[in-house]
Amino acid sequence: MPEPSRTGPLLPKLLSTNTTAVSNGELWGYLEPCSSRRLGRLNLRKDEPRVTIGRRTGNAIVFPAAKISNAHAELSWTQEPSGESTVVLLDMSMNGTYLNGERMGKEVQRLVRDGDEVAFGMPGACKLEGGLYDYRYKFHDLGNRRAVFTSYTFGPTIGEGNFATVYKAMHKKSGQMVAVKAIHERRLQTEEAERIALRNLNREIAIMQTVRHPNLCMLFEVFVNANGSIDLVLELVPGGDLLTFIQKHGPLHELKTKDVAFQLCTAIAYLHSRGITHRDLKPENVLLTRDDPPIVKVADFGLAKVVDGRTVLKTVCGTPSYLAPEVVLDVDKNGNTSYDSLVDSWSVGAIIVAMLTNEPPFCENSLDDTRTRIANRVPKWAALAQMRYPVDNAGETVGLSDDAVHFLHGLLEQDPRARMGLQDALTHPWLEGYSV
């Protein structure tokens, strides 16, 4: 339990490392709280390469809770003449220091990489006092001389995932605002694997840079760093993502849904014509402008291959709620699966169901494992049949059109050989002749 305070909850105290605004050039990194924003980020300055952490006054970072040892841990930064640097975490505690959820052990040292989660005292969330004693932080590496810093000034974090962090940034010369997706360091086992991955990476990036479509998030520049991390400079889309839009405005009227669906099908059909399969379509990857109606900007196309380092579609990736069944069910004895661009058709259909119902797109048992869930799930046809949409101000309503239902059945066909492709979707009666 936290130690009592006569003046209220105690925040982390920093001696010379501080939470004041500084330029990224002065820092070798920073710790961003995973939960409570009241804690604030902890800056790690280049003029202090060794940072002690503990409960006792005198540490560079003081966490005032009983679960924190007097001398709990130490972060140290070393930079080589080449500009490459390493960050090492030393656990000195009795109650535990955790790296990515795994307890280290007293006197154990571990390398810390960009995007790693570091927790002090306990690995999980602590909601006491609004999370003030939840000492879980995401480490952001600013010490390596990433080429992107020469051209862009980084702002706040605007998104995070398992393999990447997204920042708002500004081009130094033009002042243009962009989004920088920092893909965390790849950790491959052998030099041969690294060589193959780099070759595939260069090929995928070259393809991504040739893509130009009004409904695709534009890729401006790519920086590949010596440590294997990648910085993608992307078009900044300020209107948020489709998931947030659905949660705020859903269920969406059929006409609004059709507007988004048409743009989505147009964008992905274009990708397919260029030999690119998205593989991870979901509402979070569909960005929207602030226009009314919004313009769709599909993000993260090609990223599955960039992160995966593979040359064919044979890995189980994606979000389970929107995964095509063959991605999980058609797995050989070696754990591999091969599938084609029709996986995107299924994902588009699932997204449309989510827009129309403001619910997860399938009826499934959340307690089952992923394979069982996907094998047994059924689209929410009953919920779709019950949807009613206003016709006028007099209160008259209509149900979902027959064309829309037929369209969804074509996309959500279990057998990919019978599933409708997205180029064909554009000539389906529900979308035929539609324009934005």
* Residue 241 bridge partners (DSSP): 287
3-state secondary structure of 152: strand
**DSSP strands (E only) in 328-369:** 362-363
CB contact at 8 A, 265 and 425:
yes
Q: Which residues fall within 8 angstroms of residue 244, CB to CB, at 6 or more apart?
A: none
Sheet holding 164-171, edge to edge: 152-160, 164-171, 177-183, 230-235, 219-224
Q: Residue for token digits 């274009």?
A: 270
Q: Which residue from 342, 372, 348 is spatially nearest to 361, judged by alpha carbons?
A: 348
Residue type at 188 in one-letter notation: L
E strand residue ranges, 61-211: 61-62, 73-79, 85-91, 97-99, 102-103, 109-111, 117-120, 136-141, 152-160, 164-171, 177-183
What is the CA angle 25-26-27, rounded to 5? Answer: 95
Report d(CA 24, CA 26) in Å as an integer.
Answer: 5
Q: Phi, psi (5° rounding) for residue 190?
A: -130, 160
What would the two tokens of residue 16 be?
């010379």
Q: For the chain, what is the radius of gyration of the CA atoms?
A: 24
Decide the pairing of beta strands 61-62 and 73-79.
unpaired
3-state secondary structure of 292: coil
Is residue 52 within 8 A of residue 34, CB to CB? The reply is no
Q: Is position 280 annotated as part of the catalytic site? A: yes
Helix residue spans in 240-341 (DSSP H): 242-249, 254-273, 303-308, 325-329
Q: Which of 134, 241, 259, 280 is catalytic?
A: 280
Joined tokens for residue 231: 């910085």
Known catalytic residues?
A: 280
